[in-house]
Amino acid sequence: MNRVLSFTESAVLSYGPALAIAIIPINIDSRHISRVRSSEGVPERFSSDLVLARSPPSRSEDKTARDSSTSHDNDLGAVPIKELPPEPPLFKDCFPQRRKRRRRELVAVVHLTSFSSRNVTGNLKIVQTPLDGPVTITGTISGLTGGLHGFHVHEKGDLSEGCKSAGAHFNPENNTHGAPEDTVRHVGDLGNIMANPDGEAIINITDNIISLRGSNSIVGRSIVVHSDEDDLGKGNHSLSSTTGNSGDRWACGVVGIE
């Protein structure tokens, strides 16, 4: 005898309890269902009180169903998902990626302090652009006497005993003293600075030998301002070939990276 299965029974038999709401009731011979389920090890008796769980569809069945659905959608003019253009990343325009900038210059500073009877002070800025290019020193020094004063980089950054402990001129190649433009010179030979009658010197020196990196780096060393003019190694004094006979050390400061 044929009978109409209830909505719940049809859903349970087709896809299990979780999908019962999506199944449409159909007319099925309950005796046929009983025989089929019996072959799978389920009791032959069937009633609305007995829930018969159906195993999930196999992969081949599921693929066949999806292919059938896709074919039907294409017949209706639907665009296959694989042909849809990719969506742009969310918030792409709101948070643009920053490009990592390469450092194109090195900058150092020096604060000159007086270690003599004169109150010589000053501040210097040292810039190297590009990284292997020339070095420019700018700044102002005050408290000097009018005229020329020796201006050098010394080998040490030790000011524990004032400028005296800064050591000799920075001279890694063990050359004799010379002028900034000479081929043979100390790396630290920067010549003279000129102070006006008020004792102020405006510094603007560019040099191709000193550096803020590598073997000729002056970072951590000292800049010293002397009391007298540097003879640039051209004088007859015994100190011409070592210090340029530039006199006492009036002020000094350590070169530090900004």
Active site residues: 152, 154, 169, 177, 186, 189, 226, 249
Q: Amino acid identity of 21?
A: I
Tokens for 61, please give them: 């069945």
Residues 6+ apart with CB under 8 A from 242: 168, 169, 176, 177
How far is it, in rounded angstroms, from Cα 136 to Cα 131?
12
Residue with tokens 């299990």: 16
CA atoms within 13 A on the CB side of 229: 8
SS3 label, residue 225:
strand
Tokens for 28, please give them: 């099925």
Strand partners, 114: 251
Give, as one character, the DSSP assignment of residue 169: B
Greatest C-alpha distance within the chain: 135
Tokens for 183, please give them: 């081929």
How far is it, in rounded angstroms, from Cα 157 to Cα 86?
61
Q: Which residues of 91-106 are buried (b: 16+ CB within 10 A; e: fewer)?
A: eeeeeeeeeeeeeeeb
